[in-house]
Amino acid sequence: MKSIAANILGSRTDAEDAVQEAMLKVYRGASSFRGGASVSTWLYRILLNTCYDHLRQSRRRANAEAPMPPEEIAAAAPKTGTPDHPLRLSIEKALGQLEARERTAFLLCEVEGFSHREAGEILDVGEGASRALLFRARRHLQKALVASGAFSPAGAP
Amino acid sequence: MKATCADLERALSGGEPELFSAFEAHAHSCTKCAAELAGWRKIADAAPALRKKWDSPELWPAIRQRLAEESQTPAARKPPRTWLRWVPAAAMAALFGIAAAGLLVFRNSGGRDPLVSHWQTTKDPILADTAANEVEAAEKSYVESIEKLSRLAEPKLAAASTPIALNYREKLAVLDSAIADLRASIEQNRYNTHLRRELLTVYREKQKTLQELMKEVKS
C-alpha cells in the first residue's frame, strides 16, 4: 500500500501519511463497505482516494513539500537484489503527466500486479475499462518517454 | 489468425493471447508496429522496478495509537450496523495485526452463535467450572470445524499468487497469531468471559475469511 501511495504522491512521508489516514477512514467508515467488493480492493480504493485528496491539497499549498530527492528515490528502489531498471526514473517522471485514472490503472496492474478484474473493482469500472485505461496509460507513457528522450522514436533507447 | 496495424489496441490490451501472437507476427514485417511493441515491452520490463519498499517502524504504532484514541471518543464507540461489524476486523487484521483485531473484538458484542448465546446468558463475568468446561467443549468442536475448512483452503491459498490471495494469506497469519495470543491469555485465566468472546470473534473472522477466500479462488 505504501508503494502505490509513494508512486502517486512522490514522497515517502506523504505516502505514510496517506496510508495512516486511509486506515483511519477504514475504521470510521465500515458502514460504507459494499459487500460486493473484497476487503482489499475496498482498502485500496480508500487509499487511492486519500492519495488524490492529498495531491489536490498539496498542489494548493504554496509551501508544498519538495518532491522526493534523488537519494530518497534511490533508497526506495525495490530491495529484491535485482539491479535498478534504467528506465525507472524516466517512467516515474512520465507517470506524473498521465491522467489520474490512467496512472492508477498502470500502477495497479503493471507495478502492483493486480489483475484487471481487481483493478476494475478498485477503480469502480469494469474489467474492459481497466484494460482500456492501461492501454491508454502505456501509450501516453511511451509518447512521454519518446518526448523526454528516454526512448528513441523507434522504440529503442 | 492474422493481425494488422488496426489491431494494435486490441492486441496490446491483453485478454486475447491469439491476437497478440498474430500481432507479434505482423510486427515482424511492420516497422511501426515493431516499434510500438518494443516500447510496450520496455515499459512492461521496467514497471516492476517502480514498486517501492522501505521500512516504516513508526507507521503501524502511530496508526494503532490513533485508532486507540478514536476508540475512546464517544462517536467512535457507537457500534456499526450489526452485519457490518466484521468489516473493521477484516481490515485491521489484514493490516495492523493483533492489536487492531483486538480493538474490533472489543467492539463486537457477539451474535446468534450458540456459544455466544451461552456466554450471553451467563450473568457473572467469571464462569463457574462447569460452565467453563461446557464452553471449552463447544469451542473445541467449533475450532475443529474451522480447522477443517482451513485444511481445505490451504492448497488453494498456497497455489494462488494474486495480490488479493497474498492479502488473505497475510490476514490469516495475523488471525492465527491473534488466536495464539488469546489462547495463551485464556490459559492464564480460563474463566475470563471477555477473552473468550474475543477468541470466538477472531475464530469467526477466520471462518469468514476462509469462506471468502474459497469463493475468491473459485471465481
pLDDT digits (tens, 9 = 90+) for A1-29: 888 898 888 888 888 889 888 888 877 76
Identify the closest residue of chain B to A129 by CA–CA distance: B13
Q: Are residues A66 and A81 in the same domain?
A: no
Q: Which of A12, A16, A19, A27 to mutate to test the interface with B (most CBs of B within 10 A)?
A: A27
What is the span of the domain harbouring residue A68? 1-72
State yes or no: pLDDT of A73 exceeds 60: no
CATH of the domain at A26: 1.10.1740.10
Domain identity same for A40 and A21 = yes
pLDDT confidence tier of residue A72, bands split at 50, 70 and 90: low
Tally of domains in chain A: 2
Which tens digit of pLDDT belongs to each residue from B13-40?
A: 877 888 888 888 998 999 888 888 888 8
Contact assignment for A85 to B90 by CB distance below 8 Å: no
Which residues are registered as beta bridge partners of B126?
B192
- Mutation pick from A4, A12, A14, A23 vs chain B, by most beta carbons of B within 10 Å, is A23
Q: How many CA atoms lie within 13 A of A70 on its CB side?
A: 2
Residue range B106-124, pLDDT digits in tens: 444 343 333 344 444 444 4
- Judgement on whether residues A116 and A98 belong to the same structural domain of the protein: yes
Smallest Cβ–Cβ distance between B95 and the set A23, A88, A157 belongs to A23
Residue B192 forms beta bridges with which residues? B126
pLDDT given at position A137: 93
Q: Do B47 and A114 touch (CB under 8 A)?
A: no
Q: Which residues of B169-207 are buried (b: 16+ CB within 10 A; e: fewer)?
A: bebbebbeebbebbeebbeeeebbbebbbbbbbbbbbbb
Which domain-ending residue is among A72, A106, A134?
A: A72
pLDDT for residue B91? 55
Here the cell at position A140 is 501516453
Contact B50 A33 (CB under 8 A): no
Tell me which residue of B91, B108, B80, B154 sits closest to A38, measured CA to CA: B91
- Sort out which chain A residues have CB atoms less than 8 A from B164's CB and list them: 38, 40-41, 118
Q: Give yes or no: residues A61 and A106 share one domain.
A: no
pLDDT tens digits for range A28-45 = 766 555 555 667 787 888
Largest CA distance in chain A: 52
User: Among A72, A90, A109, where does a domain finish?
Assistant: A72
Q: What pTM value is reported for the model?
A: 0.56
Give DSSP secondary structure letters for B155-214: HHHHH--SHHHHHHHHHHHHHHHHHHHHHHHHHH-TTBHHHHHHHHHHHHHHHHHHHHHH
Flag the least confident range among A47-51, A68-72, A128-132, B194-198: A68-72
Does the pLDDT at position A83 exceed 60? no
Q: Supply the ipTM of this predicted assembly.
A: 0.74
Is B212:B168 a contact under the CB 8 Å cutoff?
A: yes
What pLDDT shows up at residue B83?
43
If one compares B147 and A155, the residue with the highest pLDDT of the two is B147
Residue A83 CB contacts under 8 Å (≥ 6 apart), including other chains: none
Q: DSSP H helical segments within A2-157, as ranges?
A: 2-9, 12-28, 39-60, 70-75, 88-95, 100-106, 116-123, 127-148
